[in-house]
């Protein structure tokens, strides 16, 4: 029987192989960091080779017994996705957890949106997640595993200038439910997370460039009933829950992680 110390130190993803798209930075990097700490062997898939390799090297330095590998692929390119998954198959032979996290946004009003804006957002956020899931599903063992999709509160709530992004994120919820039904007989659970405002590099940049950063920071904080904006760790902890056996009987759900932002009818 395991001692208490062993139980405490046992990671919640010990021995699992996790593939995380968009893992070079932001929320995906934080998920990689937590999954590695919890004992997973992590693969970061991204189209930003410099940042992705740096992130993999830094995480590996922190915990050399669990090296993090970088896989290069632009999710808009089906062949690159297949090549990255083939490389993982050669290297490790299996995947237990897939996190479809990569996402982009093009904030523009209706009449300024181009076909290319629409295609880029849908191709990365939705088609990319579909293709990566399709390419990697045969790598899941017979015992199954977990897929965690990163959607957004934009899936259910309208915000200005966000049409393609919102459509991609709403479709991610539908993709989650349909995958959950189809993959349940193979013991693969599929869930998604809908984050609210999360303080990432992009948010910091947006804040810095605003006319009054401290007023904007205070105003967005006040919108949250829990009294603060979200941090990448808030999303990574939810992803860990959905990836681990703690959520063994949960599939097809969408979990809002927004500090209560979307609760109020009248902000």
Q: Which residues are catalytic?
A: 165
CA dihedral 12, 18, 22, 23 (to 10 degrees): 60
**Interface mask toward ligand NAD for 215-254; x: CB under 6 A:** ----------------------------------------
Contact between 101 and ligand NAD by CB under 6 A: the answer reads yes
Contact between 259 and ligand NAD by CB under 6 A: the answer reads no
DSSP state of 124: I
Contact between 68 and ligand NAD by CB under 6 A: the answer reads no
Closer of 183 and 261 to ligand NAD (Cβ): 261
Helix (H, G, I), strand (E, B) or coil at 194: strand
Contact between 25 and ligand NAD by CB under 6 A: the answer reads yes
Show the DSSP H helices in the chain as ranges.
4-9, 26-37, 49-62, 78-92, 115-122, 128-136, 163-183, 201-209, 213-222, 232-243
Contact between 22 and ligand NAD by CB under 6 A: the answer reads yes
- What residues numbered 175-204 form the site for ligand NAD, per CB under 6 A? 195, 197-198, 200-203
Closer of 1 and 71 to ligand NAD (Cβ): 71
Contact between 99 and ligand NAD by CB under 6 A: the answer reads no
Which of the ranges 60-68, 69-77, 180-188, 259-267 carries the binding residues for ligand NAD, by CB under 6 A?
69-77
Contact between 145 and ligand NAD by CB under 6 A: the answer reads no
- The whole-angstrom separation of Cα 52 and Cα 111 is 35
Closer of 129 and 188 to ligand NAD (Cβ): 129
Written as six digits, the tokens of 263 are: 């609760």
Residues contacting 45, CB < 8 A, separation 6+: 19, 20, 21, 22, 23, 71, 72, 73, 84, 102, 132
Contact between 24 and ligand NAD by CB under 6 A: the answer reads yes
- The whole-angstrom separation of Cα 30 and Cα 191 is 18
Contact between 54 and ligand NAD by CB under 6 A: the answer reads no
Residues contacting 233, CB < 8 A, separation 6+: 30, 34
The site for ligand NAD (CB under 6 A) is made up of 22, 24-28, 46-48, 74-76, 101-104, 124, 150, 152, 195, 197-198, 200-203
């Amino acid at each position: 029987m395991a001692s208490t110390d062993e139980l405490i130190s046992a990671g919640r993803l010990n021995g699992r192989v996790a593939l995380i798209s968009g893992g070079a930075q932001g929320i995906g990097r934080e998920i990689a960091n937590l999954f590695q700490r919890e004992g997973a062997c992590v693969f970061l898939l991204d189209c930003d080779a410099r940042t992705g390799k740096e992130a993999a090297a830094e995480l590996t330095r922190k915990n050399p017994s669990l090296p993090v590998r970088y896989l290069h692929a632009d999710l808009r390119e089906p062949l690159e996705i297949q090549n990255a998954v083939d490389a993982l198959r050669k290297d490790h032979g299996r995947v237990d957890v897939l996190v479809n996290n990569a996402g982009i946004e093009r904030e523009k009003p209706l009449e300024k949106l181009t076909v290319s804006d629409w295609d880029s957002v849908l191709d990365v956020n939705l088609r990319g997640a579909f293709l990566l899931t399709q390419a990697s599903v045969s790598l899941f063992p017979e015992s199954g595993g977990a897929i965690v999709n990163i959607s957004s509160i934009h899936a259910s709530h309208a915000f200005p200038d966000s049409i393609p992004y919102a459509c991609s994120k709403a479709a991610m919820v539908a993709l989650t439910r349909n995958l959950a039904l189809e993959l349940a007989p193979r013991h693969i659970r599929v869930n998604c997370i809908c984050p609210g405002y999360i303080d990432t590099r992009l948010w910091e940049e947006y804040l810095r460039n605003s006319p009054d950063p401290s007023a904007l920071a205070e105003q967005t904080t006040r919108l949250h009933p829990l009294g603060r904006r979200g941090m990448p760790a808030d999303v990574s902890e939810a992803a860990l829950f959905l990836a681990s056996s703690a959520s063994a009987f949960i599939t097809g759900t969408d979990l809002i992680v927004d500090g209560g932002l979307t609760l109020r009818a009248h902000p």
